[in-house]
Structure 1
Amino acid sequence: MPALDLTQSSVDLTRVICDIPSVSGEETTLADLIHEAVSALDHLEVYRDGDTIVARTHLGRDRRVAIAGHIDTVPINGNVPTQDRVVDGNQVLWGRGTVDMKAGVAVQLVLAAELTDPTVDITWMWYDHEEVDAELNGLTRLSRTRPDLFAADFAILGEPSNGEVEGGCNGNLRALVTTTGVRAHSARSWIGENAIHAAAPILTRLAEHRAREVTVDGLVYREGLNAVRISGGIAGNVIPDECRVEVNYRFAPSRDAAEAERVVRDVFSGFDVEIVDLAEGARPGLDAELAQDFVRAVGAEPRPKYGWTDVARFSALGVPAVNYGPGDPHLAHHDEERVPVAQIEAVERGLRAWLSAG
């Protein structure tokens, strides 16, 4: 695999790294290339933890900014290699990872190489396993082994935001709501108790639930409570004795984890509820001076981030954080994933202008 050329344009580098498959759990090849490329830069101190690479300047600036992006993607589905296409009159890069979030990573890599004398010290972070359970996330691991690397006055995640600034993020909870019954031959169903039938009230409560819109520090977050998976039964002629409905709750950052769990348990009162994944959200963080400077420099109108992102990790450490990256978040994980070339270039200009402003 040829070395990464960090002197090329961020658009060209996006093509290159998108064509290096790095589905969660298979990031090592891309991580090796990033590590090799940034280790050759004399102005950066480089640290590696598994497939997470951290590169830092040490210029003695009075403020430090962390800028991060994940290098993994969801599984490929006929959308690699990357293609140049025209969609609605716009030149786009089409393919897995173009939106979520290798275009953002490419911008970061180019600027990490170029900006030898930024106005703030910078901690660049490129990490693995973002698209799977939080426990596997490279930043989770890094926060245990090197928590000092998260020290910063402000953080930017290159998650897709259409080139706009998206403050904070919703929290994310997954729960299993379980019903039980008694197995029996389906020809004599009255002898058993059907656990799948018993799950009907769970689906009714979900269908009747009305999600909130919540204003947090001036941004309006939309919540969501939905069934995302259902399983039950062992054979085509056996009455099922267990049914599990997996529920996903996206909650506004005004709620903490305990409150989010109470909401879910209240909705499904009377059922067995197991919380299997829970990550708190992050408040917008736009009241910080550096955040306000950043928003002015890139000329963006702040918006809320509905999905969970790793801004929450920084927020939990007291570091205000925002999302800023090329690509439409609605196309993340989509088989038609694509990013406008103009957005990649605009995000690069915005970050460069802010980080090099006198």
Structure 2
Amino acid sequence: MDSPHQSGPVRIGVLGASSIAWRRTLPALRDVQDSTVVAVASRERDKAERFAARFDCAAVHGYERLLERDDIDAVYVSVPNSLHHRWVNRLLMCGKHVLAEKPLTTRPADTAALAELAADRGLVLRENIAFVHHGLHRRVAELVGAGRIGRLRHIDAAFCFPPLPGTDVRYRADLGGGALLDAGLYPVRLAQYFLGNELTVAGAVLREDPAAGVDVAGSAVLAAATGETVTVTFGFEHSYGSSYTLWGSSGRLSVDRAFTPPPTMAPLVRIDEQDHAEEITLPAEHQFARSAESFVKAVSRSRSSGSDPDHDAWAATALRTAELLDRIATSAHRVVAGKQV
């Protein structure tokens, strides 16, 4: 199999015809300068052909056949969670750069193994956590760094939404479903964004659906090495909520629609002090486009250097996210319909 070419647009293949690929990531990848979507692979021929017609690319029936193509440099992986490790590993072994949907894997050891493999082969590996690319959070970090709320003491973050259709893969334990991996990842990664990777899990509760065998909601308390605390809430049995509040010694900063803002929405940051309230409106951004651009740029840089210069920093954060989610899962007090498990 030929190695990826070293000039021209980054040629992208897609493994998995998911809803998020259709609605968000593929439109973003299609529109990124210096990239082109070459083929979409699905185990269902009709899905592959529907995606191919919309994104003007080749339809591939079956994942294996995508690996056989020599006209692809990078692959966006959007298959169920439990399949990520297997297919990302195979793609890296084939010399392909990979952008994988979150979570990268369902086990910290698998995340570590993939990160090591990518580094050994000089390939770019990224987890498609789009919200971290939105300028909103950089601006919030600047405001906190400038002392607008005094010293940061506590973070409260939540990502919840209403129940999904019963056939949704997030209710499939065998496919890596559950609210912790799907929604809980967001507030956990937000805590890392503002406090770094030196976080520990102080306690957690998970609410389980006995019929599906997955967690459908939960909360956790995290502690930073420097003394700050974090509460995270997540689930898909709630009214919609996507927000965080940073509590400081002299003020409180709040953000709504934090994790999934529409591309046209101008984010609003509210700062409350003892005798003053201020609202700051920030520019609208397409966070999936920013994530796609970041990945394509990383692949382009790696062509000249033969490696990914940002790999170590990215891998350390991704692995710590996986470890924190695993610790929440293994240490949680579990309840079913209000009863202890």
TM-score (norm 1): 0.26
Question: RCO higher in 1 or 2 (8 Å CA, sep ≥ 6)?
Answer: 1
Bigger Cα Rg: 1
Q: More helix by proportion, 1 or 2?
A: 2
TM-score (norm 2): 0.27
